[in-house]
Amino acid sequence: MLWPMTSSSVAPTAGSASATPSRRRWLTLAIVGIAQLMVVLDATVVNIALPSAQADLGFSDGDRQWVVTAYSLAFGSLLLLGGRLSDLFGRKRTFITGLVGFAAASALGGAAPDFGVLVAARALQGVFGALLAPTALAVLTTTFTIPKERARAFGVFGAIAGAGGAVGLLLGGFLTETLDWRWNLYINVGFAIVAIIGTLIFVGRVESDGPRPRLDLPGTVLVSSGLFGVVYGFANAETEGWDSPLSWVPLAAAAVLLTAFVLWQRRASHPLLPLAILTDRNRSAAYLSILIAGASMFGIFLFVTYFLQATLKFSPIQTGLAFLPMVVMLVVAAQLSTNLLFPRLGAKVMVPIGMILGMSGMLLLTRLTVDSVYVTDVLPGLVLLGLAMGSIMPASMQAATLGVDRHFAGVASAMVNTSQQVGGSIGTALLNTIAATATTTYLTDHLADGPGALGPAAVTGYTTAFTWGAAFFASGAVLAAVLFRRRSRTPQAAAGAHEAPVEPVAVG
């Protein structure tokens, strides 16, 4: 997410909204897409490499979760800070810093001689990912101001955000089986080099108008600590249980810290997150929709992966390939919804439709048994879920960023990533707990079956999680239908006013 402007700037000023956009804007989209793909991939690509990394470095099953958790803790807790830094110091500068840091952290992790270095490298990836993710979306927000092109760009970006996890599974399986687990980290260096060169050549330097506000240090400490507590608490609930102090104490502390953050933002002279961003009804509905979709999607990747590998005996590469139809449908739906349907129907219609499709896909997956086959029992659900995410994510992202004063585009974009990250943490912890409870209950009720009950018990856990995932989507459909405003003006008109520093406008 780059902003400020020169002769090759990517966004017109408020007074020149009609200025001709830079012809480099589509190259900017490609560069931003590479950065977003890097960040999203690393949420899942390392998961498939974990068994090989564990065998190579010799760490325990109990320590294994920290390779994933270190990344999510740093990433989730620093997103708002990363978004604000891009507002304060310029998108291009922040973007390049994030790319260089992410590449260096990835190289360090790939070359890690022991468990400690690997975890430290993953935490550093999370730190620089928190710079990259909101900056990438903010660049997109200020680069594309023509409504039709903006819709197309957000369709591409939303497809990357939604499909990146599945692509990570495919890429992780391929690299682990054909090369080495370390290449799941090294590959980011290549992505980053391409993105850095492209940024230096094609992305104009964009400077914000007016005086530069100061960084809200108390707000930064409060919200970063609070988000850390949320992610850490839910991560521990997944492994330690909800009754563990390591689970509920961080969550209770997070509630206090985030409440204090909101109170502080009401009186801060230079707030980290102006509350007007959250009090806009459409924007709040968009953030909530992204959170719910994130909670549900993480469950899809987790439990469908378990089912494919543990029950159907798929290899890592086969597992990644199994998700490809979902990715294809997500990309197709993202383009159709943003270019054809969203301009006509708005978020109030598109997001609930996506949620209903997601609920339907989840319900199809609840029918899985140990005798199920991929083509008839898994594939239809994945296709519907791809259509769902292609309808939800681009529309919600547009609604979340449209009409924001560009001085706050970075932090508004950071809230998109924060919603998705927190949703993923909540969904993973809740669905894992629900699945584990269902599995244990099944085993208790079928003690007479002996070892033969293990497979059906595991599948029972998965299908129970899918049932709850369907309930998440159903609640999201209701909330989106109620909270999103009816269109009082066309999205095209709203998008045209986007760059002016005015009150946020209604979308959808």
Cα–Cα–Cα angle for 36, 165, 106, rounded to 5 degrees: 60
Residue with tokens 């209604």: 506
Position 497 pLDDT exceeds 50: no
User: What is the rounded CA–CA span in Å between residue 397 and residue 415?
Assistant: 10
pLDDT at 91: 79
Position 508 pLDDT exceeds 60: no
User: What is the rounded CA–CA span in Å between residue 139 and residue 204?
Assistant: 11
Position 302 pLDDT exceeds 50: yes
- pLDDT tens digits for range 321-358: 888 898 889 888 888 887 788 778 888 889 999 999 99
C-alpha closest to that of 404 among 480, 266, 500, 272: 500
Confidence of residue 470 (pLDDT cuts 50, 70, 90): very high
Cα–Cα–Cα angle for 48, 53, 57, rounded to 5 degrees: 165
Position 99 pLDDT exceeds 90: yes
- pLDDT tens digits for range 110-156: 999 999 999 999 999 989 988 888 888 777 777 777 777 777 777 77
pLDDT at 48: 73
User: What is the rounded CA–CA span in Å between residue 262 and residue 273?
Assistant: 9
- pLDDT tens digits for range 2-61: 332 222 223 333 333 333 445 677 788 888 888 888 887 776 777 777 778 888 888 875
Confidence of residue 460 (pLDDT cuts 50, 70, 90): very high
Tokens at residue 445, please? 């009720």
Percentage of the residues of the chain whose pLDDT score is greater than 90: 23
C-alpha closest to that of 425 among 163, 132, 72: 72
Task: Considering only residues 408 and 8, tell me which one the structure prediction assigns the higher pLDDT.
Answer: 408
CB 463 within 8 A of CB 118: no
Position 238 pLDDT exceeds 90: no
